[in-house]
Amino acid sequence: MPVGAYLKLSIAVALATIALKTGAWWLTGSVGLLSDAMESLVNLAGAVFALAMVTIAARPPDEGHPFGHHKAEYFSSGFEGALIFVAALAIVWAAVERLLAPQPLQRLGPGLALSLVSSALNGALAWSMLKAARQHRSVALEADARHLFADVWTSAGVVVGLLAVAATGWLWLDPVIALAVAGNVAREGISLVRRSADGLMDHAVEPAVLQQIDAVLAGFAHPKTLRFDHVSTRRAGRRLFVELHMHMPPGWTLQRAAALRGSVEQALMAEVPGLRATIQLLPMDVEAHLDESAENVL
Instruction: Output the 3-class SS for 123-163.
Output: HHHHHHHHHHHHHHCCHHHHHHHHHHHHHHHHHHHHHHHHH
pLDDT score of 74 more than 90: no
Give the helix/strand (H/E) hosting 233. strand 227-236
pLDDT score of 15 more than 70: yes
Confidence label for 268 from pLDDT (cuts 50, 70 and 90): very high
Mean pLDDT rounded to a whole number for the chain: 79
Give the 3-state secondary structure of residue 72. helix
pLDDT score of 149 more than 70: yes
pLDDT score of 288 more than 80: no
Determine the pLDDT at residue 109: 78
The mean per-residue pLDDT over the stretch 255-274 comes to 91
Whether the Cβ atoms of residue 139 and residue 73 lie closer than 8 Å to each other: yes
The mean per-residue pLDDT over the stretch 79-105 comes to 72
In what side-by-side order are the strands of the sheet with 275-283?
Answer: 227-236, 239-248, 275-283
The mean per-residue pLDDT over the stretch 172-190 comes to 75
- Segment 209-234, tens digit of pLDDT: 899 999 999 999 988 889 998 898 88
Determine the pLDDT at residue 292: 53
Q: Among the residues of the chain, which ranges form H helices?
A: 3-28, 31-57, 72-100, 108-136, 139-168, 173-199, 207-220, 254-271
| Domains along the chain with CATH numbers | 3-199 (1.20.1510.10), 207-283 (3.30.70.1350)
The mean per-residue pLDDT over the stretch 259-278 comes to 90
The mean per-residue pLDDT over the stretch 188-214 comes to 77
pLDDT score of 279 more than 80: yes
pLDDT score of 150 more than 60: yes
The mean per-residue pLDDT over the stretch 149-168 comes to 75
Whether the Cβ atoms of residue 70 and residue 238 lie closer than 8 Å to each other: yes
pLDDT score of 298 more than 50: no
On whether the pTM is more than 0.75, the answer is: no
Whether the Cβ atoms of residue 158 and residue 181 lie closer than 8 Å to each other: yes
